[in-house]
Amino acid sequence: MGYLKRHSLIWEKSGKSSSIMPIRTVDDLKGGIILPSTPLEQVDMLIEYFASKQASLSEFVTFDSSKDYPICFAKNGSDFCYIIKSAYELGYIKGRRQDSGPVTYIGKQFRLSDGHLMLTPQGWEKAQQLKKQSPYSKQVFVAFQFDLNGKMKGIYSSAIAPAVSECGLEPYTTLDDEHGNSIDDVIIANIRKSRIVIADVTYASQNVYYEAGFAYGLGIPVILTCREDRSETDMKFDTSHIKHIIWKDENDFKQRLINRIEAMGLSNKK
């Protein structure tokens, strides 16, 4: 149920794009969905749901904890109420009752004492921040070895960037980024707000592996790629089991990348 609700929300947020892959199997259902790893991430999911359902500033959204707990992948109604309580304490939501919070603790369980809730101004601000982040972001972070002869920069320009653009997404690389901040801060901030990370491991750059690992840790989908003639030397042992795109030339790379993005259900093509 949680997967279905999440797909429905992504479908609405993406503008009901016809490019979203049809759901035919359990793997299709799970594809492209990032499960929350902390209660705060579950709170974020709840805020996104509020923003999709609350049509006006003065409208309340009605909840039934016994039925709605899959919204943020809570295990049961009590856990769902805990997430609501957390969102309330963070200042993101409020209920009709102004004298107390919307959740009480009875019989060793959290229970919803006020099922009519709405976003606060802080909640709307949080919802706007989340809109810019994955999985609704159009940005794709691209990591590759900035070699001195410029070969990979040429591959980026002729294959990676066009493939990403054809999928209705926006490629990003730090190559042309003008900034006054630490490059590490820029990289981390841009990975966080990206929908996908594409990491080409040709030439086995430690920086590329670090950026891919950081994205994996955040639960952001990562597409690993490598040039065919260097795959045996550049694909590390501890990641070689992950399915890479092994490419021969620019045209081959571009088409394989488009196919992979669409197969993952992450295309935003209209």
Give 51-96 pLDDT, tens digit per residue: 988 989 999 999 999 999 988 889 999 999 999 999 999 999 999 8
Give 20's pLDDT tier (boundaries 50, 70, 90). Answer: very low
248: burial class by Cβ within 10 Å (0-12, 13-18, 19+)? exposed
Give how far Cα 190 sits from Cα of 6, 131, 180, Å: 23, 14, 15
Is residue 17 pLDDT above 60, yes or no? Answer: no
50 in Cβ contact with 127 (< 8 Å): yes
Question: Is beta strand 116-119 parallel, antiparallel or unpaired with respect to 61-62?
Answer: antiparallel
Residue 87 in tokens = 């969102």
Q: Does a cis peptide bond (omega within 30 degrees of 0) precede residue 221?
A: no
Structurally, what CATH architecture does the domain formed by 139-263 represent? 3-Layer(aba) Sandwich (3.40)
Does domain 35-131 sit in CATH 1.10.10?
Answer: yes
Question: Domain map of the chain by residue range?
Answer: 35-131, 139-263
pTM: 0.57
